[in-house]
Structure 1
Amino acid sequence: MAANITAKTPVSTSLTGRHVHLVPLTMDHLPDLFVAGGGDDEVWRWQGGPTPQTREELGAKLAELLQESERGEFVPFAVIHRDSGRTVGWTTYTAIDTVHRGLEIGWTWYGRAYWRTAVNTETKLLLLDHAFEELGMERVQLKTDHMNHRSQAAIARLGAQREGVLRRHRLRPDGTWRDSVYFSLVREEWPAARTRLAARLDA
């Protein structure tokens, strides 16, 4: 890709796989989202802020995300589990830089019943494939709390390379400091990573 060509700006769209369907996130998804993860401290442990204990509290988080998406800071997706038809979490594109052709996949959560299933693998496969093949991105990054070892292992299984740690990157709600562990995939790595992810889904 020539140096003077920018990537496409992500917009709300639908991406469909065998196990999940990603659609633009709206307030209509709130009832399913609360069933999937409302009140679950483990789901929200690393998301920042207190666990939403009521549908109204989760609705406030969702409304905040949608407001930020209107300002262009996020492109959020609802994650629909195709077998059940239920919304089981959300995920976003953020840190979008079309000039330098990069973005981040972040603020992702799923109901605990869907951890270590095909849901995360296929969600990331769809988002990565869209970023590299349709949007023309050269780099996709992911980051997580240095204490969130489950998330770090899940990102590594995608084939992403660990790049390093930003120390004292964010202040947690409890007053302690979070170091952020950064991972990335670049365009040249994507074909092999895609093959591995597709094989995991087939298995």
Structure 2
Amino acid sequence: MFSKQSLCTERLSLVPLSANHLEGLYQAGQDPQVWRWVLMNYTQTRTMLTEWFTNTAQFHAQQQVVYAIIDKATQQVLGTTRLFALNKQHLTAEIGHTFIGTAWQRSFVNTHAKYLLLCYAFDELGLVRITFNTHEKNTKSRNAITRLGARFEGISYKDRLLADGSSRNTARFSIIDEQWPAIKSQLEGKL
């Protein structure tokens, strides 16, 4: 169901992730703060990044598409994001596994990237629900998701096991198809 097409605004491109993007991802992921709330820092070493690319980013191609986030002005790789957990029967998916290099956080990047993914999900794929999940304590991510127009649905306790062995409580958000036209208009005003 997913196509391997690039998605673009005037300032940003989402390009299906390839091995050519790995060095840029490695550079973008070097600030440890990027990984504070994430399940695993796969940019710790170039070897880990290559293994992640081969074993995780390419996994379930029918259920996910992983993108490199690229600044159109500089062609610099700023991070990665994905549309995943596609459920064709229920017409749902999740947006996440996003990381954006520290220098690009709280800039235009997240709004443009999520706008592109949401347009693709609702307008091209005809999905009816998109979910966003983040660590309960990750206020930066929660605020960014809320700024998109997503609705907070609650906390799922001990939802995921983290690399250090502790459990993550997950804050869940969603956007549904009836909300999408108003949210799309709002996001277009921010582009």
**Residue in 2 aligned with 1:87?**
77
TM-score normalised by length of structure 1: 0.89
Partner residue in 1 for 2:133: 143
Structure 2 portions without partners, runs of 5+: none
CA contact (8 A) 2:133 2:172 kept: yes
Contact kept in structure 2, 1:44 and 1:51, CA below 8 Å: no
Q: Following TM superposition, by how much is the alpha carbon of 1:46 offset from its aligned partner in structure 2, in angstroms?
A: 2.0
Which letter does structure 1 place at the counterpart of 2:23? P
Q: How many residue pairs were aligned?
A: 191
Is the 1:17–1:126 contact (alpha carbons within 8 Å) kept by the matching residues of 2? Answer: yes
Per the alignment, residue 50 of structure 2 pairs with 59
- Measure, in 2, the Cα distance between the counterparts of 1:47 and 1:41: 10
The equivalences for 1:104-183 within 5 A come to: 104-183=94-173
CA distance in 1, matches of 2:55, 2:104: 24
User: Does the Cα contact within 8 Å between 2:25 and 2:43 map onto a contact in 1?
Assistant: no
User: Which has more radius of gyration?
Assistant: 1
**Structure 1 residues 123-164: Cα deviation after superposition (integer angstroms, max 9, x where no partner):** 000110111111000111110010111100000000000111
Q: Unaligned stretches of 5+ in structure 1?
A: 1-8
| Residue 29 (structure 2) pairs with residue 41 (structure 1) | no
Give 1:151's aligned amino acid. Answer: S
> Which amino acid is the alignment partner of residue 173 of structure 1?
A
Whether contact under 8 Å (2:2, 2:64) holds in the other structure is no
Contact 1:69 1:76 survives alignment (8 Å): no
Alpha-carbon offset, residue 65 of structure 1: 2.2
**Offset, 1:54:** 2.2
Aligned sequence identity (%): 38
For 1:133, the aligned partner's letter is D
CA deviation string 1:167-200 (max 9, x = no partner): 1101111122101111000111111111111112
SS for the counterpart of 1:68 is coil
Structure 2 residue identity aligned to 1:120: N
Within-5 A mapping of 1:5-20: 9-20=1-12
The answer on 1:22 being equivalent to 2:21 is: no
Aligned residues of 2:154 and 2:171 also touching (Cα < 8 A): yes
CA 83–57 in structure 1, closer or farther in 2 if over 3 Å, else same: same
